[in-house]
Amino acid sequence: MTTTAERAVGQPIGRVEGPDKVRGAARYAAEYPVGDDLAYAWVAQSPVARGTLTDVTVDPLVEADDVLAVLWHGNAPRLAEADDPELAVFQSDRISYRGQALALVVARTLEAARRAAATLQLDIEQEPHDSVLRTDHPELYTPEKVNPNFPSDTASGDVEAALAGAPVTVDVTYRTPPLHNSPMEPHATTALWADDDLVLYDSNQHPPGVAASIGGLFGLPADRVHVITEHVGGGFGSKGTARPNAVLAAMAAKVTGRPVRLALPRQALFSMVGHRTPTIQRVRLAATADGHLTAIDHDVVEQSSRLFEFAEQTAVSTRHMYAAANRRTGHRLVRLDMPTPRWMRAPGEAPGMVALECAMDELAVVLDLDPIELRVRNEPSVEPESGTPFSSRHYVECLRRGAERFGWHDRDPRPKQRREGDWWIGTGVAGATYPTMAQPSTARVRRLSGDSYEVSIAATDLGTGARTILTQIAADALEVPVSQVRMRIGDSTLPRASVAGGSSGSASWGWAVTGACRSLRESGREEATFDSSELIKQQEKDGKHAFGAHFAEVRVDAMTGEVRVSRLFGMYAAGRILNPRTARSQFLGGMIMGMGMALHEESVLDPAQGTWVNHDLAEYHIPVHADIESIEAEWLDEQDDQLNPMGSKGIGEIGIVGSPAAILNAIWHATGVRVRDLPARLDKILPHL
């Protein structure tokens, strides 16, 4: 039995699956051995953005001996109606976006499938398309809700009157481009049918959800679809639900009677699995002469597809950050002939806080007030819109302690004051927030021989360390060493878990694991199961957030406009940190992704073709090792007993929230140039130096 001093939670324990990954023994979706008759599939994608597919012709001379099947809407099996229209592959002749799956070649070898797919003749009746987001689009509308279930618009007070009567105002528009998830492991599925049951080795963030979705399409209950997701090489939201690759692999395996493997190529990830919507955000702030906000107005224009409405919650974070008597937030959406946006790390908060935190920096300049002091003066005592008390909120402490750690107080507030050789140097700050969530989950624990225990839950480890953290949580709840706990996850046949998303995994699964382990220990039984649903239903949802502050130092080359981030620092208040080693990795990963958002990442649209022209990692730029000079993360020792049994808040996403704004604000401080259209490329800076 462990003592309090020996508790596992809070210790920097190495990843329990680390040795398997280093040895290559950890299997991913496209690596499972399923027999010598394995077939391979390749997707033929639409070359147009809108139209009708009338016929598919196969060249009989190409790979005739190797091709097993060519599927398209003219011969594919009929599926049940899908809640997500993008899963209804080959069920219609309609083409809704460029890159949509139109046909699938199944062959004995991957090479044969790829060559045959390239030679397919797709007879298409092309139609005019619309792919450009703009604020004057005639089809703009207000959605009923934004992801996942927030009201689209909120309002209180009289914003227009406050703006008209304020001595100081800011009215700015920020634009963020389309951004794409591109996890190291592409979306992949290996499918096989065992009699009338379906087995999927699939890379996803929610095995039970995928089992239910795919089962529904094929007329199967979820318990007859076995989804195995033992290891995942990243997801960032794009694998949060079933994607077309899983449907196509299952369909091909059904038709051919063989196991089928489908791994999407990198370029297909830019069209078939979701992306972050571009945004056009207008932020208006009104303040007194001493820096107290009297009005906040945040209006967002974004896009979705013709197939499926996905409205990103871009302005929602503004509802929680600062006090102001008069407030308004809203979202407007237009559905274009483009792929459907989906979840991408910190959906809503990441782009929304760019506009808000840069606008706050611009207001601080107009007021001639330190940007940290401006934020402190507008710290709310309760939720600004609902009036709900915060369970805990240490945002000001993050700002104060982060500033001390970063060396903020010697900063000259005037722009373009510090130069070393060819480099202008500046610093910037921005706030961060992310909601604390827990979702119902169930866990089971069994007593094994030799004083060991098996803990099971259908959770997913995306590479974040979930398997390790759950092992630590279980060990403490059982009061045994970590070495006596065997954790089983990544399998839809295990007790149902919530999705690995929304920074909710550890809280949701840990709650269930804690309950099951305590029940077994206290009862003395050989097995115990715990469902957290009722306890989570009783929780107040509002007023629970993680907070943080980001600080950035940049150098901007006076001759070329090149931007280098010389220092990036984050200070967080994110509840109890369950494992400092994995937590630091998550914070840094988010901050680096935020750097990419600020300086590198941009999906470039060709309006004439309705497609992204830089749909690979050769031209879609992301940060690399050489871009990361000094990056550090620290956190407060925050105790919050209103959250869950562990007191954790979730850390996977808050690292990206605010870090782009801190970098943009630092660029202004270095150069006097405001970049309001991300990313901050040198061509947007150099002409103004």
Q: Which residues pair with 330 in a beta bridge?
A: 299
Residues 512-541 have pLDDT tens digits of: 999 999 999 999 999 999 999 999 998 878
How far is residue 282 from each of residues 131, 135, 314, 331, 494, measured CA to CA in Å?
21, 10, 11, 11, 46
Task: Enter the CATH code of domain 39-128+182-272.
Answer: 3.30.365.10
Q: pTM to 2 decimals? A: 0.97
Q: What three-state secondary structure class fits 244?
A: helix
How far apart are alpha carbons 232 and 230 in whole angstroms? Answer: 7
User: Catalytic annotation on 653?
Assistant: yes
- pLDDT value for 250: 98
**Any idea which architecture 4-28+438-537 has in CATH?**
2-Layer Sandwich (3.30)
Residues 493-508 have pLDDT tens digits of: 999 999 999 999 999 9
Average pLDDT in the 394-420 region? 97
Q: Which of 3-7, 90-94, 217-221 has the lowest mean pLDDT?
A: 3-7
Choosing from 63, 185, 553, 653, the catalytic residue is 653
Residue type, position 528, single letter: A
Q: Which of 5-9, 116-120, 137-141 has the lowest mean pLDDT?
A: 5-9
The answer to whether residue 20 scores a pLDDT higher than 70 is yes
CATH topology agreement for domains 4-28+438-537 and 145-179+276-436+542-688:
yes
> Which tokens sit at 250?
């299952």
How far apart are alpha carbons 547 and 640 in whole angstroms? Answer: 13
Residues 323-347 have pLDDT tens digits of: 999 999 999 999 999 999 999 999 9
- pLDDT value for 539: 85
Residues 250-297 have pLDDT tens digits of: 999 999 999 999 999 999 999 999 999 999 999 999 999 999 999 999
Residues in the chain: 689
Average pLDDT in the 344-364 region? 98
Give the domain ranges of the chain: 4-28+438-537, 39-128+182-272, 145-179+276-436+542-688
Output the DSSP codes for 372-418.
HHHHHHT--SS-TTT-PPPS---HHHHHHHHHHHHTGGG---SSS--
Query: Of 234, 136, 151, nearest to 188 (Cα)?
Result: 234
> Which tokens sit at 115?
């060559």
Burial class, 426, CB count within 10 angstroms (exposed 0-12 / middle 13-18 / buried 19+): buried
Q: Is the domain 145-179+276-436+542-688 a CATH 3.30.365.10 member? A: yes
